[in-house]
């Protein structure tokens, strides 16, 4: 009995537990599901709001950073533009201006030399003194406009490695309040665009040569010079033409002058060439046809000839300007261009033929 009672009690208990468990689980589960859904929705809603606020704060911080950055760079621009009126900017501008002023000085000297047919006795010293004067005028300007004390001392005017350049060395000292500057400024002045004074000085005894745009018409000035110096066949250089304005030849290496129309274009443009024998620009101002500096040479071109047939045996002095004006060695006539029965010619020696690739 006892065993039966125990079994029946045990069974009832299990049953009741089962029932209770089943009901409560079902109900709770259902309830939980409902609660869960609501919570999830609420949670979702909450997280959207939280996300939006975070995004808003993030945007706000970014905007602040951007505004700060902008105002900082704006401040920098303002201080940079303030700086443009300031010490370093003025000094930099002043230094850039030295070669510009120097070229004006050299050009003026060349004009005077050409006009008066009178060589400069010491071009380097004269150019140096004139640049010094110009810079001193600038000193007053900077003092008045920027309140900056600038002092310049031109140390030297000299040849650089490139014969198309002249170098100027200047000590520049400057002071404004606590700011100061001291430097040796080396300026490079291009001589391109300046007039060649040499022909006017070499032919100064009989100066019938004239400027004709970018060229020189020699008229009888060069043939007179040749007669005077007892040179071969002066007649060929009657009414010869030469180059007035210094321009650097574009046909480099020079050997390509022998190809196509290069020589014709070179002569038409009056290009100048580098030459160890030709005189440098500063010595040209002194009337020297030759100097020990690395220099320049340009062709002097006889009048075109009519009806040249076959080999021309006529000779004269080679038409590189330093040869005509200094070394005087003979050359043969070379036709570098022909149209109809008119031949454009040069008198040229063997070494210049080789230099310019003329066979």
Residues that bind Zn ion (CB under 5 A): 249, 251, 266, 271, 280, 283, 291, 293
Cβ 327 to Zn ion, closest distance in Å?
A: 15
H or E stretch covering 110: helix 87-116
SS3 label, residue 342: strand
Provide the minimum distance between the beta carbon of 326 and Zn ion in the complex, in angstroms, as a whole number.
12
Between residues 126 and 291, which has the closer beta carbon with respect to Zn ion? 291
Please say which residue, 209 or 291, places its beta carbon nearer to Zn ion. Answer: 291
- In the complex, what is the shortest distance from the CB of residue 193 to Zn ion, in angstroms, rounded to a whole number? 17
CB of 257 to Zn ion, least distance (A): 6
**At its nearest, how many Å lie between Zn ion and the CB of residue 280?**
3
Which CB, 135 or 285, lies closer to Zn ion? 285
The strand pairing partners of 344, in sequence order, are 337
- Alpha-carbon torsion (180, 186, 192, 197), positive or negative: positive
Pick the closer one to Zn ion by CB: 230 or 253: 253
Nearer to Zn ion, 293 or 322 (CB): 293
Question: Closest separation between CB of residue 282 and Zn ion, Å?
Answer: 6
Closest CA to 347 of 219, 223, 192: 223
Site of tokens 């745009």: 213
Cα distances (angstroms) measured from residue 87 to each of 84, 147, 186: 8, 9, 20
Q: Give the whole-angstrom CA distance, residue 162 versus residue 188.
A: 10
Q: Judged by CB, which is closer to Zn ion: 232, or 245?
A: 245
Per-residue HEC secondary structure of 219-250 comes to CCHHHHHHHHCCCCCHHHHCCCEEECECCECC
Distances (CA, A) of 22 to 25, 31, 98: 5, 14, 104
For residues 336 and 263, the answer to whether their CB atoms sit within 8 Å is: yes
């Amino acid at each position: 009995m006892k065993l039966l009672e125990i079994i029946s009690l045990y069974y009832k208990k299990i049953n009741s537990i089962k029932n209770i468990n089943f009901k409560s689980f079902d109900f709770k589960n259902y309830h939980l599901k409902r609660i869960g859904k609501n919570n999830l929705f609420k949670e979702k809603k909450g997280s959207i709001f939280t996300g939006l606020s975070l995004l808003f704060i993030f945007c706000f911080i970014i905007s602040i950073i951007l505004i700060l950055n902008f105002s900082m760079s704006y401040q920098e621009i303002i201080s940079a533009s303030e700086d443009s009126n300031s010490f370093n900017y003025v000094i930099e501008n002043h230094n850039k201006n030295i070669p510009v002023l120097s070229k004006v000085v050299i050009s003026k000297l060349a004009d005077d030399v050409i006009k008066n047919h009178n060589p400069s006795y010491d071009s380097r010293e004269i150019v140096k003194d004139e640049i010094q004067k110009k810079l001193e005028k600038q000193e007053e300007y900077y003092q008045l406009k920027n309140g900056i004390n600038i002092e310049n001392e031109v140390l030297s005017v000299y040849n650089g490695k490139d014969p198309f350049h002249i170098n100027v060395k200047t000590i520049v000292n400057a002071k404004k309040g606590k700011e100061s500057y001291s430097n040796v400024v080396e300026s490079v002045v291009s001589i391109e665009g300046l007039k060649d004074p040499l022909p006017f000085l070499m032919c100064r005894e009989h100066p019938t040569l004239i400027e004709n745009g970018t060229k020189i018409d020699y008229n009888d000035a060069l043939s007179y010079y040749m007669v005077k110096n007892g040179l071969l066949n002066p007649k060929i250089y009657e009414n010869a033409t030469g180059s007035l304005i210094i321009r650097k030849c574009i046909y480099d290496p020079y050997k390509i002058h022998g190809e196509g129309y290069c020589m014709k274009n070179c002569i038409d443009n009056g290009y100048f060439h580098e030459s160890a024998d030709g005189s440098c620009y500063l010595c040209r101002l002194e009337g020297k046809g030759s100097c020990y500096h690395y220099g320049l040479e340009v062709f002097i071109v006889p009048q075109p000839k009519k009806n040249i047939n076959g080999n021309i045996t006529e000779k004269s002095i080679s038409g590189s300007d330093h040869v005509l004006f200094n070394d005087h060695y003979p050359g043969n006539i070379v036709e570098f261009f022909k149209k109809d029965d008119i031949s454009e010619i040069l008198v040229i020696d063997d070494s210049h033929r080789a230099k310019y690739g003329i066979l």
